[in-house]
Amino acid sequence: MLNGKIAVSIEKEFSEPANERRYIVGVDIGSSTLAAVTVLDSQSGKVVKQLYFGRDVAVRQMKYEERRAKLQSHADKGSEKANKYLKRLKHKQRNFVKTRSGQVAKEIANLALKYDACIVIEKLKFRAVRGKVNKNGRKKINRIPYTQFREFLKSNCLKYGVLFQEVDAYHTSKWCPKCGALNNGHDSVNYALYTCKKCGLTVNSDRKASLAIAVKSLLERTSQGLTNSCFVQISRRKVPVNGLVRPDDGVLSGAVHLTQPPMESPLL
């Protein structure tokens, strides 16, 4: 209770099995693009569509922070005017991020409705990364409105009757969709790209991650015995999709079959 007001959080479990939906919308939430999306056909194993949502969020966030840094420097010198404008700017930034997160969440829910699909995201926990990520990297991570955007997605899914699922984030950024190898994730030269050291594939890292999220959802669906013939093959090289599964996960590790036609994935 705060100031005589009571806040109540209500959550609802989605009881309908995910296998009722043919299409899967994999959503990767990131710092450069709020949501990179892959629409996967679970029956043919093909990528139907890949899209970006909310690219403007990161751009506006950077502009807000540049202005805030200048105002902060004046506020530190004792400027009351700068301190006043700084508070207004912080409030304006929060409102912008909240509004755009809600808008993007609704757009993705509408996309799922169009394909009668379920929406899948990663289970993420942002922890202190001191010593592993530089200052700019930490700023990018802090700019991701993950929790807020996730709640907007769940709310829209509940409102429009769209199935919502979360999957383990294990290796979704490292897995190569062409040969199945595991790499470092983002390219060391260009953070926006993923380069496989084994087969040489170079693709956009966010869109590739959204594909991995969708495929992982399909693997979980298969492992639970929810489908009769739910198999995954990413290319003619017969990709070992077990790279997306934790070694100690005995259920999923034995649920991978590679029998479907090759997946077409225009990731660049």
Q: Residue 178: what pLDDT?
A: 82
Confidence band for 267, pLDDT divided at 50, 70 and 90: very low
Q: Residue 218: what pLDDT?
A: 87
Pairing relation of β-strands 35-41 and 46-53? antiparallel
Q: Is residue 75 a contact partner of residue 82, using CB atoms and an 8 Å limit?
A: yes
Distances (CA, A) of 13 to 19, 125, 267: 16, 20, 33
What's the distance, Cα to Cα, between the start and end of the chain in Å? 50
| Pair of tokens at residue 175 | 């897995």
CA-nearest of 248, 178, 260, 264 to 222 is 260
Lowest average pLDDT, out of 24-28, 192-196, 221-225, goes to 221-225
pLDDT at 227 over 50: no
Lowest average pLDDT, out of 6-15, 192-201, 258-267, goes to 258-267
pLDDT at 190 over 90: no
Give 135-188 pLDDT, tens digit per residue. 665 666 777 899 999 999 999 999 999 999 999 988 898 988 888 888 877 766
pLDDT, mean of residues 37-50: 91
Q: Is residue 101 a contact partner of residue 145, using CB atoms and an 8 Å limit?
A: yes
> What homologous superfamily is domain 18-253 in, according to CATH?
YqgF/RNase H-like domain (3.30.420.140)
Q: Which residues contact 231 (CB under 8 A, 6 or more apart)?
A: 45, 222, 257, 258, 259, 260
Mean pLDDT of the chain: 79
pLDDT at 226 over 80: no
Q: Which residues contact 179 (CB under 8 A, 6 or more apart)?
A: 196, 198, 199, 201, 235, 237, 239
Sign of the dihedral through C-alpha 114, 106, 152, 127: positive
Torsion of CA 255, 256, 259, 262, to 10 degrees: 140
Give 94-132 pLDDT, tens digit per residue. 999 999 999 999 999 999 999 999 999 998 775 544 445
Q: Is residue 172 a contact partner of residue 244, using CB atoms and an 8 Å limit?
A: yes
pLDDT, mean of residues 57-73: 92
pLDDT at 4 over 70: no
| Residue 38 to residue 101: CA distance in whole angstroms | 18
Confidence band for 133, pLDDT divided at 50, 70 and 90: low
| Residue 38 to residue 105: CA distance in whole angstroms | 14
